[in-house]
Amino acid sequence: MHAYYNDLLPSIQSLGLWGYWLVGLLAFGEALVLTSIFAPGTVVVVLGGALVAQGFYDFGDMVWFVAIGTVLGAEASFRIGAKGTILFQKGRRVFSPAHLERGKQFFAKYGAPSIVMGHFFGPLRPVMPVVAGLSGMSRRRFFLWNVTGGFCYAVILVSVGYFFGTAADAFSATMTRAGLFALAVLLTIAVGWFVTVKLRKTLPFFASVLRSVGGAIRDNLDVHALVARHPILFSVLSDRLSRDAVTGLPATIVASTSVYFLLLYAGSTLDFVTQSRFVAADVRVANLLSAFRDPDLVRFFTVVSAIGYWKVIATLGIAASALMVLRRRPQYLAGLWLTVIGNQLTVTLLKNIFARPRPEMAVYVESSFSFPSGHSAASVAFFGFVTYVVIREHIGWVVTSFVTGASLIFLIGLSRIYLVEHYLSDVLNGYLVGALWMLLGIFLAQWLTTRADWTVQTTVQPWQKVASIGVVISAVVTAAVIVKDYQQTYNRRPIHDIIQLDAPLQTAFAGGHLPTHSENILGQPQEPISLVVLAQNDAAFTTAFNKAGWHVADWPGFNAMSPAFWDSRPNDVGYQTGPGQDSLEYRHHARFWRTDFRTQDGLLIFVGTASRDQGLKWGLTHQIDPNIDAERDFLATGLRNTGLISAEYRFQLVAPVLAQTVTDDPFFTDGKAIVLQIRPEAAQQPSGQP
């Protein structure tokens, strides 16, 4: 983990004792109203605390430098504020009247303690001392509160950094594939929440712009002349865009969206029928997620998957119906059950039409067909419709309701993919089916609302509250019992027999028994196989690599080696070596797959590719040296030097290649593969595995 911080904060760590001064100076700059916009003080203070945890700096000294810096910066801001409000003008980011007004309100509400709290409130941090100066607070009183707040800020922020710095090594050492997968899921949900909040804030602006554009078009004289020439056409268009009736704009939106989803559905179904590359990626995604399989995640996603089970959906649907009746909202009932029943019938019909078998690597045994995913379709249909009702009835915040519903739908679909009960295309197709029925249900509810004179109840009687609480509790308890009893039979995957080749190795490659190239997730060929290792068993293979100084790269991790595919499978093992093996930037690495074949001599066949990382690309992935033949020869030489290689030869596997990887890195090769046979005694030697 030291390498991680070396990459992250080289400027601080390399300064030695001057690092204290840099952190203190940035803390001063962020507290000073004139420079706060340019100084990332809080971030650097936290990272300084992380370096304290790594042993580069002393905790007490770091606190002193941060505290003194932030106190002096706030003191300078206070003196600026004492001179008046001339700095605060429209168009300025920090010195904006809005920040000043917000600071005044904050100061008026909390008084002198707001000086302490202001150190922890982002944009208010440099403004609060200015407000204190404007209010006429005495310098002595401000100094006492400022010193208190400055030292609290320093101790807390450095401690936060120290905590994360201490936890980082343990996190790096103990982080499992399950942890990384869960972290990715949480990050996806967080990004979805962030985007939704931003869209919610910007929608009024875009709506205003569209209204202005529409008004300008409506008032244009040429448009008036065009309407006069085609009255029938524009009368129909006017009716379709009218907001006064559900058959106008609402129907147009629903119809347009439904057509769009139908086209998407037709395209995905065509992909399935024609076995396109998208569907070909299904098997690779399933194999890849099998490598992430973890008991804790299996239990978690089993529970999530159970929420989309038809019994749970039916229970929650009955409860939702009861609440609609109790709150006198019967207009939603028809839409809800049209959505639920129509979706279930469609899914059942499609499953029997396409009759796609379940994935072989599924965690549980499922008796129904795979395409489309019933859980995914039901989650969109039911929870999507319920989310619409919640937002329509102003129950809670719009953003919270939308993101909660979307997150639940996302997790249910993800659970089906993670448990490999469905392929990726099954889940996406299920989402489309559910979305179509959800839109139809919403339209029906809207239409019924306009067709009947529904009496909207504005007050809730005590008995209705009691009954509603009873319905909710009963539904939650019943659903929890169903989820708890959601037991399924574990799928015992068949063990594939190891097939003995009836032809020489070179002939097996030429005849297609052994694919000649690695491939990306869509099945497109990538680097050709450059190494073939023959071993008596797995132990002999592992022993040879460990003795050659190659170590297992336990992907995925912080220093992960991205997986590649061969014969639709991700690599079984990745090896790395070299002085830079603990980072993505500079290292030798190789990927190997254990095939399902033995040679005519009874030896297991392992195939692999090798390359050397020579830097980072986009800051996310490694960039390889184009000369992959040199890396092939480097690995072969290392294995040869162990004394465990009994035979070695080369053969022309493919024609010479000049191509690019999936990340557009160029590579070239002469197309030859090196075959290395490991001595039988390697199987009895200690493997050297930790």
CA nearest 526: which of 337, 328, 196, 284?
A: 284
pLDDT tens readout for residues 41-51: 677 777 777 77
**The pLDDT of residue 277:** 61
Dist CA 434 CA 237 (whole Å): 29
Least Cα distance to 533 among 674, 638, 684 occurs for: 674
Question: Can you tell me the mean pLDDT for 212-235?
Answer: 76
Q: Pick the more confident residue, 338 or 149.
A: 338
Partners of 609 in beta bridges:
591
Amino acid, single-letter form, for residue 318: I
The conformation of residue 503, written as its DSSP 8-state character, comes to S
Helix H or strand E segment including 330:
none
- Predicted TM-score (pTM) of this structure: 0.60
The answer to whether the CB of 39 falls within 8 A of the CB of 30 is yes
* CA angle (440 as vertex; 437, 446 as ends), nearest 5: 140
Q: What three-state secondary structure class fits 493? A: coil
Confidence of residue 689 (pLDDT cuts 50, 70, 90): very low
**Structure confidence by residue, pLDDT tens digits, 269-303:** 666 555 556 666 777 777 777 766 777 778 888 88
Whether pLDDT at 166 is above 70: no
Q: What pLDDT shows up at residue 265?
A: 64
Q: What is the pLDDT of residues 119-159, one digit of tens each?
A: 666 555 666 777 777 766 777 877 887 888 888 888 888 88
| pLDDT of 340 | 92
Q: What is the DSSP letter of 220?
A: -
Rg (C-alpha) for the chain, rounded Å, is 32
**What burial class does residue 229 get, using C-beta atoms within 10 Å of its C-beta: 0-12 exposed, 13-18 middle, 19+ buried?**
exposed
The SS3 call for residue 597 is strand
**pLDDT above 90 covers what percent of the chain?**
6
Contact criterion met (CB below 8 Å) for 417 and 299: no
Average pLDDT over residues 467-480: 84
- Amino acid letter, 662: V
Among 216-230, 306-320, 338-352, the minimum mean pLDDT is found in 216-230
**Considering the chain, what percentage of its residues have pLDDT values greater than 70?**
69
pLDDT in tens, 32-77: 766 655 556 677 777 777 777 767 788 888 888 888 888 888 888 7
Measuring CA to CA, which residue among 414, 384, 600 is closest to residue 500?
600
- In this structure, what token pair is assigned to residue 120? 């922890």
Domain boundaries, the chain: 2-174, 247-484, 499-684
Please tell me the number of Cα atoms within 13 Å of 686 on its side-chain side: 3
